[in-house]
């Protein structure tokens, strides 16, 4: 195993506590753009593109909604020079690390999940009501026309028929 990958694995296993260096911030992944470029949103709601380094490529997977630590120290200079990629991912946060950070003061207020839980409870009540209405209206399916036969498949020929015309008892 190469030293870079070994160090990443060691940092992952040890990394219960996350310390942010100067110029680093926690950002949420909004979209994967391909070619190691991801779209992230910072704690202020500003969206930008970040580079996901190749050293993470086979060690960590990220998806939409994941949280990463991004080095955004040269963000303003990169945007002024015309570069679309403004920052570089320095660490991927795991579930346990995110839970620990949510309890600390370093966690941005925009990523707090408490407002979403209230809205989810309201939508769950609405979906339950819709399901009840659908169950009440399930008897209306009798008015639909019958399904047509599938003409895309060949039917095997019937050699013997079980019709009543063969036996006149």
State the Cα angle at 134 between 132 and 138, rounded to 5°.
120
Q: Count of domains in the chain?
A: 1
pLDDT at 117: 38
Query: pTM of the prediction?
Result: 0.60
pLDDT at 149: 73
Domain annotation covers residue 128: no
Task: Supply 100's token pair.
Answer: 């620990």
Domain annotation covers residue 165: no
Q: Which residues contact 9 (CB under 8 A, 6 or more apart)?
A: 1, 59
Q: Which residues contact 157 (CB under 8 A, 6 or more apart)?
A: none
Domain annotation covers residue 67: yes
Domain annotation covers residue 13: yes
Domain annotation covers residue 141: no
DSSP 153: S
Domain annotation covers residue 22: yes
Domain annotation covers residue 42: yes
**Hey, how many other C-beta atoms are within 10 angstroms of the C-beta on 69?**
20
Q: How close are the terminal C-alpha atoms of the chain, in Å?
A: 84
pLDDT, one tens digit for every residue, the chain (169 residues): 566 667 766 766 665 567 788 888 899 999 999 889 999 999 889 999 999 988 887 778 889 999 999 998 888 888 888 888 999 998 888 888 888 888 888 788 888 764 333 334 444 444 444 444 444 444 555 666 777 777 777 777 666 666 655 555 5
Tell me the CA distances in angstroms from 54 to 16, 34, 61, 71, one per residue in order: 23, 12, 12, 16
pLDDT at 19: 77
pLDDT at 114: 40
Domain annotation covers residue 7: yes
pLDDT at 15: 58
Which CATH number is 47's domain given? 2.40.50.140
Residue ranges making up the domain that contains 51:
3-111
pLDDT at 28: 94
């Amino acid at each position: 195993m190469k030293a870079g990958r070994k160090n990443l694995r060691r940092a992952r296993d040890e990394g219960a506590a996350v310390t942010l260096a100067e110029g680093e911030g926690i950002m949420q992944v909004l979209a994967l753009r391909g070619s190691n470029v991801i779209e992230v949103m910072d704690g202020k709601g500003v969206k930008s593109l970040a580079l996901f380094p190749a050293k993470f490529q086979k060690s960590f997977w990220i998806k939409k909604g994941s949280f990463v630590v991004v080095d955004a120290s040269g963000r303003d200079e990169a945007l002024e020079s015309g570069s679309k990629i403004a920052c570089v991912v320095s660490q991927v946060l795991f579930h346990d690390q995110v839970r620990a950070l949510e309890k600390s003061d370093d966690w941005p207020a925009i990523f707090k999940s408490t407002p979403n839980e209230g809205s989810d409870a309201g939508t769950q009540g609405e979906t339950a009501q819709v399901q009840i209405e659908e169950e009440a209206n399930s008897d209306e399916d009798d008015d639909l026309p019958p399904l047509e036969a599938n003409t895309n498949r060949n039917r095997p020929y019937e050699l013997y028929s079980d019709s009543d015309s063969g036996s006149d008892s």
